[in-house]
Amino acid sequence: MLAVVQQTLAVTAPVFAMLFLGVVLKRLGWIDTAFINTASSLVFRGTMPTLLFLGIVRADLSTALQPALLLYFVLATLACFAIAWGWAIWRCPTADRGIYTQGAFRGNNGIVGLALATSLYGDYGLAVGSVLAGVVILCYNVLAAIVLAIYSPVGKSDPRAIGLSIIRNPLIVGVLLAMPVAYWQWPLPNWLLLSGQYFAQMTLPLALICIGGTLSLASLRESSAVALSASAMKMVWLPLLATLGAWLWGFRGADLGILFFYFASPTAAASFVMARAMGGNHQLAAVIVVVTTLAGVVTINLGLLLLQWAGWT
């Protein structure tokens, strides 16, 4: 159990370090609102699509391709999305419903989920987790684009406008461009892949620094109730329901553990980037990222302990 705690901290501690760095840099005046706006735009339009593209291109889609696991994840994600959105309609102010929904269902699987799956299950966890990541990226970005477009204060919410927002979303474009390259294994020049890697490596530090720079005591106070509700949904209730559903579906052992990690991962930093790009309450999105990342140190380890105690994984 101690080893799992250390593994979780090893993944989440650098995230907290970059968030804190963003707070410090803003206080020192080394970054300002203009920098945060420009950097967030760069992440959304450039570095994050490149990161997603490279992640899918490098995934071995021919191995560890398990249709039952992928199908369950898609269905469970749709169910979690519907539950989060339904709760947001019932309990949240209209302006915050899109941010709440995205924060409550969209996990940081590319960083936290995949790292934990690989750490605990080795090459098998890496193979299954990488293939699953491709499905995760497409599902999360399409669903998030839909719900954010509906409640966006700067956009239209008719079906045609929502469809265009999905097609034009840089994150989704990056995923769609990568799929034929990965499936048919089209070779790309090494210099291009390496240059893309350099560019993509800026994604997480820049996104987290922007989140930290956005945080303030006022935003924490104003967003506390909604952020805590979304965080509880993301880190407790939805992982509990989705993992129990996976067990009832028949998953056991490493497959169940990997699904749990993906459902229990804290809210992705991409949720802040997308919220800001679409004119949503990015301060609320930032608070949800921070709270869920902090909570993940406890909830992920407790959930894994319960799975092991029950003999399910």
Rounded CA separation 26/35 (Å): 10
Rounded CA separation 249/275 (Å): 34
> Residue 246 has what pLDDT?
97
Rounded CA separation 148/62 (Å): 34
List the helix and strand counts (H, then E) for the chain.
15, 0
Least confident of 15-24, 163-172, 186-195, 278-287: 163-172
Q: How many domains does the chain have?
A: 1
In this predicted model, what pLDDT tens digit does every residue of 229-277 receive, in sequence order?
A: 999 999 999 999 999 999 999 999 999 999 999 999 999 988 999 998 8
In this predicted model, what pLDDT tens digit does every residue of 134-170 receive, in sequence order?
A: 788 889 988 999 999 999 887 666 677 778 878 888 8
> Residue 140 has what pLDDT?
93
Rounded CA separation 76/24 (Å): 39
58 vs 87: which has the higher pLDDT: 87
> Residue 176 has what pLDDT?
86
Phi, psi of 280 (to 5 degrees): -85, -175
- Would the pLDDT of 1 be above 70? no
% pLDDT > 70, the chain: 95
Rounded CA separation 223/304 (Å): 30
| Structural element, H or E, at residue 207 | helix 203-214
Domain CATH for 199: 1.20.1530.20
Average pLDDT over residues 21-38: 93
Q: What residue numbers bound the domain in which 94 lies? A: 2-309
% pLDDT > 90, the chain: 47
Radius of gyration, CA atoms only, the chain: 18
> Residue 61 has what pLDDT?
65
In this predicted model, what pLDDT tens digit does every residue of 35-76 receive, in sequence order?
A: 999 999 999 999 988 988 888 887 766 655 788 999 999 999
Confidence label for 298 from pLDDT (cuts 50, 70 and 90): confident
Burial of 20 (0-12, 13-18, 19+ CB in 10 A): middle
- Please, are residues 98 and 151 in contact by the beta-carbon 8 Å criterion? yes
- Please, are residues 128 and 69 in contact by the beta-carbon 8 Å criterion? yes
